[in-house]
Amino acid sequence: MSKSVNSVITSIGTTTAFTASIIIQDCKKRGDGQSPLYMQLVHARKKKLIGLKLYWAASFFDKRAQEILPRYKNDQEAIDTNIIIGTIKARANEIIRSYRLQMRELSLELFVHEYNNFASRDCFLFYATSKNKSLFDKGINSHRTKLRHQTAINSIIAFMKNKQLLMKDINLEFVRQLDAWLRKTKKYKHNTIVSVHKIFKTYINYALRDGYFLDKPYVGFTTSFRDGDREALNREELATLRSLLNSELLNDLERECLRKFLFSCYTGIRISDSDLISSSQIKEGVIKMKMKKGERFGKEINVPLPKYAKELIEGRKGLIFHPYADKTVNLALKVIAEHAGIKKNLSFHVSRDTFGTLFIELGGDIASLQELMGHSKIQTTMIYVKMSEQRKEKLMMNFDKLDE
């Protein structure tokens, strides 16, 4: 027995009504308990289903709104799937509206033909969201990469104000307008904006390889990360956070996030890797593990643990840290920064920058740092040498105060 919904997409042609709606069929439940979603077409008392290659639990489907419901708080997969559903509805509505305005009769066969042959009118945001999900389902991208890519795609969706972004409309001028909006309206930092552009460019290249016809807008638009947007803690700030760890000011979640952050300050381990560290990977005071970011290349790191890092995880078995979502950790770090009186924009990546900068300041060599941090290029590691030099310059300027 299928669960259908009231149609919200309706067209009255020259003679007969045409309706399209999103339904779920719980009679075709898979082994994982999820059922397929379809677009149901109704015309002249005939029905036709178009498979959407989307699956969800029927009990979490809103029949009236034709949307899926989140299974838990901040269910990102539900958000992503509803974006796809919304784009499908918009595509169907555009086809129906086009025939209505032309006073042409729209048959089931014509609709399917139009829907399957959207050609250069295809919606890029639908494509990018679907492609992102497909890359994750095939195991090509990690869950963390999927979330990061969808966040960038969602930024473009917000810029479009829920309108379709057609393949043919992507050009240099569009990229410039997006860039200006991210800077002036959203007030994103430079490196955050560059990240959005790089992910946008990635999916443009995917579309080109998949046979879509669109411009290459980034041929005339260059983007690059800036070292200056990076911040590292100094020794005093690090000491303040250490003293705050067991403070009653923090709740259990904040305390665990700070513990993970401090561990990275002393080891340089990325947040994606810290979620995967098991006690079985620590032998004789050394963590030996394959890095998540370089796992396709079999990249492995060996990190000797300083005394304080050992104290942070003493007695823990199995997974060392609770795998909170990146957003949850970074929000907790904002609260922690306020308690500590730290004015810097505290995010988890600051811990990695802190490790790299302090390693150089304490006399470490660049080759060893490259190995510890798992960088494939020495140029990446050189960022921390530059950051260390900048800190020295600022400290030397303090001597000018002696003449005041």
Q: Quick one: how far is CA 102 from the chain centroid?
A: 41
Q: Which CATH architecture describes the domain 235-403?
A: Orthogonal Bundle (1.10)
In tens digits, the chain (404 residues) has pLDDT values of: 344 334 445 544 444 688 899 999 988 888 888 999 999 999 888 999 998 888 999 999 999 999 999 998 888 888 888 888 888 888 888 888 888 888 888 889 888 887 876 544 578 988 898 899 889 888 888 887 888 899 999 999 889 986 778 888 999 999 999 999 999 999 888 888 999 999 999 999 999 998 888 889 999 898 887 765 668 899 999 999 999 998 899 999 999 999 999 999 999 998 888 888 899 999 988 988 877 665 444 567 788 999 999 999 999 999 999 888 888 899 999 999 999 999 988 989 899 999 998 988 888 888 888 888 888 788 878 888 877 777 766 666 666 666 65
Q: What is the largest CA-CA distance in the chain?
A: 91
- CATH architecture entry for 121-225: Orthogonal Bundle (1.10)
Is pTM, for the whole model, over 0.85? no
Query: What are the start-end ranges of the H helices in 161-224?
Result: 172-184, 190-209
In this structure, what is the dihedral angle of CA atoms 192, 193, 199, 204, given to the nearest 10 degrees?
180
Distance between CA 100 and CA 146 in Å, rounded?
Answer: 38
Residue 235 CA to residue 356 CA, distance in Å, equals 13
Alpha carbon distance 7, 202 (integer Å)? 36
Give me the long-range contacts of 109-113 (CB less than 8 A, separation at least 24). 111/18, 111/20, 111/41, 111/43, 112/41, 112/48, 112/50
- Listed in sequence order, the DSSP H helices in 287-347 are 307-312, 326-340
User: Rounded to whole angstroms, how far apart are CA atoms 88 and 85?
Assistant: 5
CB atoms within 10 A of CB 27: 11
> Where exactly are the structural domains of the chain?
1-117, 121-225, 235-403
